[in-house]
Structure 1
Amino acid sequence: MAQYLHLFISIVILLSLSAHGVCENIWHISTGPDFETDIDSQVISIVVKQAYELSKEKVRITSSPSWKRSLIEANAGRVDGELYRIKGISKKFPNLVIIPIPVGNVSALAFTNKEKLKSLKIDSWNSLINHSIGILNGILYIEDESKKNNLKMIEKVQTYDQLLNVVYFNRVDFGVWSYPTYLSFIKDKRFNQLHIFKTPLSVEYLYHYIHKKNKNLIVKLTNALGIMQENGEIKKIRKEFIDQLYK
């Protein structure tokens, strides 16, 4: 009888530990290489972490060596999802499922360090035709707009710091980066010489994506982000974070 009792207690303990393990499951989400400096990534990471917390889930966000690699890893299921991308990437990465509440938005802005170009009117992608431009590899909406508008002279780089350099050292006519991410560089000495064209080339909403194997998260995260959108929490997080940059 003592042996059976011991076996019963052991089974109960194992089941208890197993249940605890399920509760403690941590979802692994990937993003690009500029996580420490990319304002979009930092702001949206706060939004997404809060959504997971509201869903009673835990999440860990990690940087990938490149923006494109991050998508590849997420689509292959080697991580559980992608921190944020524009709507429509599932056409190219069919294993990624969108959470249909925007977690932010991004504006594509052109900038230059060439004096002769600073007085030009740059207010659309079409304005960049016949000029060389630098962009980030793997930022799909910028890559797609470049192709759509038949921009030929393109230099792709892996990080925002590299993008800043190719423009600062006049290797290209224009760079294209996003607001609010470029604000990360306002204290960089290279930044002071640049001219940023304030009219966006385009504006896109950003969404969190998960791998299809994690479809049980869809309703939870949609509901959580819906609550955050309704009560203004998503906008509040973004505003407070950006305001801190100017202090």
Structure 2
Amino acid sequence: MSRLFIFALFLLNHVSSTSHANPLTISVEQNNVFLEALLPELLNDVKLEAKIITIPSRRALVELNEGRIDANGLRLRILEERYPNIIKMDEPVLHIDFIAITKRDDIIVKSWADLAPYKVAYPAGWKIFDANVPASTKTTTVNDHMQLFNLLEIDRVHIILLSETIAHSLLKNRTDHPFRFLYPPLHSTPSYLFFHKSRQEEAHKLAEALRRLKANGAYDQLKQQTYTQ
């Protein structure tokens, strides 16, 4: 039984004491352990039910815009201009650093332009990388985040691009890994949950719940616990 399936069952059971006629379906990105820890707290606070799934990033946008799922995250600010039926929860969930990762000691990356000479891989559907990686760069996109590290480890690519939080969560059990995280980040930005416009009321309730968690210190405590496990 997959960890994500168990997580979905936990959410449904955790809030089952308060019924909702039409539970949310939320698609979450792979390996975001903080979001997986945060969502039960938010849903329980506002007495909402949810089913949590993971679908590929690009497809998730289409399904959200068409109303086949109710929410998706984490994503950036840019989506509302491109998808008319999508609204943003008006409280950022997490500030994300997008970084380059390599095995080689001689690679220095301080800007997007520095990627041009190398073979680069990143997650399919991540618009931040589609928009900023130089057109001349030889790129590979994959749907599975761990596959990025596999490509890097067998020298199929020189650099992979990922969010720092997801990279750390994937490598948390590998203390002897050969990978170098390159700083400064290529980009830092707040990230959000996005909702279909028919779920505006739920989006507002969850934003208020998130603000309460930040105000009472529970958010910082949860983040510290998540990233030190």
TM class by shorter chain equals 0.7 to 0.9
Query: 1:124 & 1:229 partners in 2: Cα distance?
Result: 32
Query: For residue 20 of structure 2, what is the aligned residue in structure 1?
Result: 23
Query: For residue 165 of structure 2, what is the aligned residue in structure 1?
Result: 180
Greater alpha carbon shift after TM alignment, 51-60 vs 101-110: 51-60
Q: CA deviation at 1:77?
A: 0.9
Greater alpha carbon shift after TM alignment, 180-189 vs 77-86: 180-189
Query: For residue 125 of structure 2, what is the aligned residue in structure 1?
Result: 138
Q: CA deviation at 1:72?
A: 1.9
- Do structure 1's residue 75 and structure 2's residue 65 form an aligned pair? yes
Is the Cα–Cα contact under 8 Å of residues 101 and 226 in structure 1 kept in the other structure? yes
Q: CA deviation at 1:52?
A: 2.2
- Do structure 1's residue 111 and structure 2's residue 101 form an aligned pair? yes
Structure having the higher Rg:
1
Q: CA deviation at 1:159?
A: 1.0
Where structure 2 has 5 or more consecutive residues not aligned to the other structure, the ranges are: 1-16
Query: 1:238 & 1:129 partners in 2: Cα distance?
Result: 35
Query: For residue 63 of structure 1, what is the aligned residue in structure 2?
Result: 54
Q: How does 1:156-175 map to 2 (within 5 A)?
A: 156-175=141-160
Give 2:44's aligned amino acid.
Answer: E
Number of matched pairs: 212
Query: For residue 111 of structure 2, what is the aligned residue in structure 1?
Result: 124
Query: 1:130 & 1:103 partners in 2: Cα distance?
Result: 34
Query: For residue 216 of structure 1, what is the aligned residue in structure 2?
Result: 201
Query: 2:180 & 2:82 partners in 1: Cα distance?
Result: 34
Q: CA deviation at 1:43?
A: 0.8
Give 2:74's aligned amino acid.
Answer: Y
TM-score by length of 1: 0.77
Q: CA deviation at 1:134?
A: 0.5
Query: 2:91 & 2:136 partners in 1: Cα distance?
Result: 32
Q: CA deviation at 1:192?
A: 1.5
Q: Please state whether the residue corresponding to 1:209 is helix, strand or coil.
A: strand
Q: CA deviation at 1:131?
A: 1.8
Alignment root-mean-square deviation, CA: 2.2
Q: Please state whether the residue corresponding to 1:74 is helix, strand or coil.
A: helix
Give 1:220's aligned amino acid.
Answer: K
Q: CA deviation at 1:22?
A: 6.2
- Do structure 1's residue 43 and structure 2's residue 43 form an aligned pair? no
Q: CA deviation at 1:45?
A: 2.7
Is the Cα–Cα contact under 8 Å of residues 186 and 192 in structure 1 kept in the other structure? no
TM-score by length of 2: 0.83
Give 1:185's aligned amino acid.
Answer: L
Q: Please state whether the residue corresponding to 2:74 is helix, strand or coil.
A: strand
Judged with a 3 Å threshold, the aligned counterparts in structure 2 of structure 1 residues 134 and 235 are, in CA distance, closer, same or farther, namely same
Q: Percent of counterpart pairs with the same letter?
A: 20
Query: For residue 3 of structure 2, what is the aligned residue in structure 1?
Result: none
Query: 2:160 & 2:172 partners in 1: Cα distance?
Result: 16
Query: For residue 95 of structure 1, what is the aligned residue in structure 2?
Result: 85
Query: For residue 53 of structure 1, what is the aligned residue in structure 2?
Result: 44
Give 1:156's aligned amino acid.
Answer: T
Q: CA deviation at 1:157?
A: 0.9
Where structure 1 has 5 or more consecutive residues not aligned to the other structure, the ranges are: 1-19
Query: 1:100 & 1:145 partners in 2: Cα distance?
Result: 25
Q: Which has the higher helix share?
A: 1
